[in-house]
Structure 1
Amino acid sequence: MEFSIKSGSPEKQRSSCVVVGIFEHRRLTLSAELLDNASNGFIGDIIRRGDMNGKAGTSLMLHNVPGTLCDRVLLVGLGKEKEFREKDFSAAFRLAIKTLAETGAQDATFFLSEIAVRKRDIAWRIRQAAIIAQDASYRFDHFKSKNDDARRPLRKLTLIVERRNELTAAENALQQGQAIAEGSALTRDLGNLPPNICHPGYLAEQAQELADEFKLGCEILDRADMEKLGMNALLAVARGAQQAPKLIVLHYKGAKAGDKPIILVGKGVTFDTGGISLKPAAEMDEMKYDMCGAAAVLGTMKAVARMALPINLTVIVPATENMPDGNATRPGDIVTSMSGQTIEILNTDAEGRLILCDALTYAERFMPDTVIDVATLTGACVVALGHVASGLFANKDSLARDLLEAGEETGDRAWHMPLWDEYQELLKSPFADMGNIGGRWGGAITAACFLSRFTKKYDWAHLDIAGTAWKSGADKGATGRPVPLLTHYLLQRAGQVN
């Protein structure tokens, strides 16, 4: 989709559609008033007849509005003006994009970006508009033999700012929003691909393509490399798989050579059967999404490289399948991790923490400023937080606050969970330094406590995205989260946003 920014009056726009907002109780926004004046009260008459009340979630398409140069005018309900907040702005914008997709309009001019949102500036509105527009337009139909939608897609979107002195800030925000949307789309594509295509080797190929496109440093470690490093926890998960495991490392150098990198580690289990601790058959197809942490950090890398942020960023992806066969790891096996700590594997379906712990130890060699791991780690986190917020754990409160703020800014929210020592007791094993599970209760917390034992040498945060990385049901598919949260955090670290 092509985007542009401009300042202008709605009645003068030569466009397939002009989009304006209406607040509840028929309260016209400024742009709607200007259209109403140009049309000699045409819009006001329609609204007074009851065709449009301005309630959130409603819209009305008008054709051939007098006094305008556009083909159509789309009125979008905004809800109560005094209660208009970020979620209302996002919902109105998303509704407008989806409504336009049903009309066949190939371009549109949006005056919704002019509408004030409490405590949010024009840069926020433009950035969010670009992200939402791309997200709402996303389709994954790579494997359909016929295209079900005969309509022409929306190709060009113009976002209006009220004042010309806002144009520079809006243009910068648009570039950021497009980069975030591009990273999210890559994340969704990788997550939605079937596991017979998106296996560890495929992820390594995609990483190499990113490296070639953006001139990144790229290292792909294979099984022999990992054996030399002593990554026995990661390799234990890979033992039952025919697909060879990979450890993928990408380096983006946007700052000075001596600046410590921020490291993102993404769980890359490209299909998770549970191993010998086999999962139930129902909905096992969704275990192709168990690599959404890997997809998210690759998508974030793409967004950062596209924006050429002045930071150093390293991405590490431990990638494997978790399969049962005669060589697969058994419950009761004990392995020695790269850190030297021993682990009794009590449940082979708690495999994500096993591949992550070796990747987190590997991260030490880069002398990181901060390490953030991203993983579809526990069903317990879905029970605790549902599909609204990602679980956030950190060994430094200021890091947690920065990530929470980034989530609030983008609507890609997280919730800070505890890492108290009392939970560490649940990981005790009579035969090894620790077990890989801590029992039924507090499962998301004990999983994070397990990872924390491998992160003593740097500031670290863990995002459990099991409830937010994909949707089930009729709208099944990867969401692209938490690319917006991560990218906004990195924008903050780079000093590119307030």
Structure 2
Amino acid sequence: MDFSIKTFDARTTPTQAKTGLMIVGVFENRGMSPAATELDAQGAISAALKSGDISGKAGSSLLLRRADGINAERVLLLGLGKEQPIVPKDFTTAAQTLARMLPSLGANDCFIALPLESVRDRDSEWALRTLVLAMRDVAYRFDAMKSKKDPAPNGVKKVAIVVDSAASSAARETLAQSVALANGMDLTKDLGNLPPNICTPTYLANTAKKLGKDFGFGVEVLDRKQMEALKMGSFLSVTNGTIEPPKFIVIKHMGGRAKEAPTVLVGKGITFDSGGISIKPGAAMDEMKYDMCGAASVLGTFRAIGEMNLKLNVIGIIPSTENMPSGSATRPGDIVTSMSGQTIEILNTDAEGRLILCDALTYAERFKPEAVIDIATLTGACITALGHHNSGLFTRHDAAHDALADALMAAGKASDDTAWRMPIEDSYQEQLKSNFADMANIGGPPAGSITAACFLERYTRNYTWAHMDIAGTAWKSGAAKGATGRPVPLLTTYLIRRAKNGPAS
């Protein structure tokens, strides 16, 4: 789908525009958006509203063909809910309705002339991005593994989004960022949806290398011997049961100033999680291919910021392996030594994500980061706590960490990729006590997502850090099974704001 920005002037009005489809907004009280009012010179739209052919409720629609006095072949009236300002949820509903309709219409091109600046508590950038992401989400297909590909959608191929001429420059920048974000989300979805016999640690490493070639990133991939030399005993303990070689991937986008402290993103890359010796039940175990969605989100975010050429230093770290049972697999009761020197009693081999992340978080210290954010499908307990709407966000509670948490939550709200902050307190650390090592790798069923974060927190005390548990948001189950691309929107929005406004943004 090809996107562009269009402006109207005295010589080129919505009425005069020649296009296969013009989309304008209407409201529940029979009101019309400014563009709809202009098109209604001969009363076709007002007549449809008065007749009750369209209610104006969010997501309602009516297609008019060859309306008198309008050059466009078709006019789509799109319900935006109650009169302005438009409720954000109603605008999102309308955008999703429009996205589902466009592939089934006969037009090849369209103009979207909606009041982007009239959404309550949102700016026109948000509205434009919402439109683009909705259309790209509907257009997304994953049929790479099918012998017969899904039929290519027909309908609209060229989309021009109409803005005021004074806002055209900013709109073009927002559009470019929105398309880059959609491309990053598509990569994250593709990686998540690939089967685990294809998307191995080596595949992730090769994906990082390809991104490096395409966007000029620095990429380094450490193998087992190099990890052994770094004494990553915790990470390596998870690799013991698999024949797939583990990979420790470092990817660098150095778009900022030479001495600018980088933001570091750490993504959990378990390409298949059987649970190891503490094996999972068989039901829905196939979905454990999604246990690398933290890694996929880091690569998707890099895909987005690389296309944007973001003026910021960002480093990605991806520890990647399978977690498999075998005669050589790590056992419950084994004690391992992490890169930091701290020892860990492994009480449950299915709590492996924190074991690979802790060494990656220690490795991150060498970059003297401005902030470190780890992203992981870490705990089922987070789904119990927050469901599938919000990702879990964990940080320490002090001024620097409060500022980081606020910035991440604001980015989530701005991108509709929301997170909810959870506590980290010393009282929860008590659950990780071990009689035989510095800590255990699990703290029991109570507050499972919090004790997992507390485990990671022990490895991050030399820098500002946040942990995002995306177990409930990275993929969908059931008939809609598939990776969601989250939290690429949140991370990308956070990085864009940091590049523009500095660390506190």
TM band (smaller chain): over 0.9
* Structure 1 position 146, deviation (Å): 2.7
The counterpart of 2:476, out of the listed 471, 479, 482, is 471
* Structure 1 position 105, deviation (Å): 3.2
The counterpart of 2:24, out of the listed 20, 27, 37, is 20
- Residues in 2 aligned to 1:268 and 1:422: alpha-carbon distance in whole angstroms: 30
Are positions 1:116 and 2:118 aligned together? yes
CA contact (8 A) 1:104 1:151 kept: no
- Residues in 1 aligned to 2:90 and 2:228: alpha-carbon distance in whole angstroms: 52
Secondary structure of 2:249's match?
Answer: strand
**If the length of structure 1 is used for normalisation, what is the TM-score?**
0.96
Counterpart residue type for residue 440 of structure 1: P
CA contact (8 A) 1:113 1:129 kept: no
1:328 and 1:480, CA in 2 relative to 1: closer, same or farther beyond 3 A? Answer: same
- Residues in 2 aligned to 1:458 and 1:170: alpha-carbon distance in whole angstroms: 36
Q: 2:209 is matched with which residue?
A: 208
* Structure 1 position 297, deviation (Å): 0.6
Secondary structure of 2:494's match?
Answer: helix
Q: 1:418 is matched with which residue?
A: 423
1:187 and 1:151, CA in 2 relative to 1: closer, same or farther beyond 3 A? Answer: closer
Counterpart residue type for residue 328 of structure 1: A
Larger mean Cα displacement after TM superposition, 285-294 or 67-76 = 67-76
Q: 1:3 is matched with which residue?
A: 3
Counterpart residue type for residue 290 of structure 2: Y
- Residues in 2 aligned to 1:251 and 1:324: alpha-carbon distance in whole angstroms: 33
CA contact (8 A) 2:59 2:90 kept: no
1:151 and 1:176, CA in 2 relative to 1: closer, same or farther beyond 3 A? Answer: closer
Counterpart residue type for residue 212 of structure 2: A
Larger mean Cα displacement after TM superposition, 427-436 or 57-66 = 57-66
Q: 2:305 is matched with which residue?
A: 304
Q: 1:277 is matched with which residue?
A: 278
Secondary structure of 1:327's match?
Answer: coil
Alignment of 1:29-108 (within 5 A): 29-37=33-41, 40-81=42-83, 84-108=86-110
Q: What is the CA deviation profile of residues 210-251 of structure 1, one whole-angstrom value per residue up to 9, with x for unaligned ones?
A: 001111111000111111111111111111111110000011
Larger mean Cα displacement after TM superposition, 454-463 or 18-27 = 18-27
The counterpart of 2:492, out of the listed 482, 487, 491, is 487
- Residues in 1 aligned to 2:436 and 2:14: alpha-carbon distance in whole angstroms: 72
* Structure 1 position 136, deviation (Å): 2.7
* Structure 1 position 190, deviation (Å): 0.7
Are positions 1:450 and 2:459 aligned together? no
Q: What is the CA deviation profile of residues 261-300 of structure 1, one whole-angstrom value per residue up to 9, with x for unaligned ones?
A: 1100000001111111111111111111110100001111
* Structure 1 position 6, deviation (Å): 1.4
CA contact (8 A) 1:184 1:483 kept: yes
1:319 and 1:113, CA in 2 relative to 1: closer, same or farther beyond 3 A? Answer: farther
| Structure 2 unaligned spans of 5+ | none
* Structure 1 position 150, deviation (Å): 5.7
- Residues in 2 aligned to 1:466 and 1:83: alpha-carbon distance in whole angstroms: 35
Larger mean Cα displacement after TM superposition, 122-131 or 292-301 = 122-131
Alignment of 1:140-151 (within 5 A): 140-149=142-151, 151=153
Secondary structure of 1:331's match?
Answer: coil
Q: 2:189 is matched with which residue?
A: 188
* Structure 1 position 61, deviation (Å): 1.9
CA contact (8 A) 1:207 1:250 kept: yes
**If the length of structure 2 is used for normalisation, what is the TM-score?**
0.95
Q: 1:402 is matched with which residue?
A: 407
| Structure 1 unaligned spans of 5+ | none
CA contact (8 A) 2:395 2:424 kept: yes
* Structure 1 position 148, deviation (Å): 4.1
Secondary structure of 1:75's match?
Answer: strand
Q: What is the CA deviation profile of residues 328-368 of structure 1, one whole-angstrom value per residue up to 9, with x for unaligned ones?
A: 11111110011101111111111111110010001111111
Q: 2:376 is matched with which residue?
A: 375
CA contact (8 A) 2:381 2:449 kept: yes
Q: 1:136 is matched with which residue?
A: 138
CA contact (8 A) 1:469 1:482 kept: yes
Larger mean Cα displacement after TM superposition, 112-121 or 372-381 = 112-121
* Structure 1 position 474, deviation (Å): 1.1
* Structure 1 position 18, deviation (Å): 1.1
Secondary structure of 2:168's match?
Answer: helix
- Residues in 1 aligned to 2:147 and 2:50: alpha-carbon distance in whole angstroms: 47
* Structure 1 position 144, deviation (Å): 2.4
Q: 2:240 is matched with which residue?
A: 239
- Residues in 2 aligned to 1:346 and 1:107: alpha-carbon distance in whole angstroms: 59
- Say what the alpha-carbon RMSD is for the aligned residues: 1.5
Q: What is the CA deviation profile of residues 288-336 of structure 1, one whole-angstrom value per residue up to 9, with x for unaligned ones?
A: 1110100001111111111111111100000111111111111111100
CA contact (8 A) 1:113 1:126 kept: no
CA contact (8 A) 1:352 1:375 kept: yes
- Residues in 2 aligned to 1:72 and 1:145: alpha-carbon distance in whole angstroms: 37
Alignment of 1:340-359 (within 5 A): 340-359=341-360
1:104 and 1:450, CA in 2 relative to 1: closer, same or farther beyond 3 A? Answer: farther
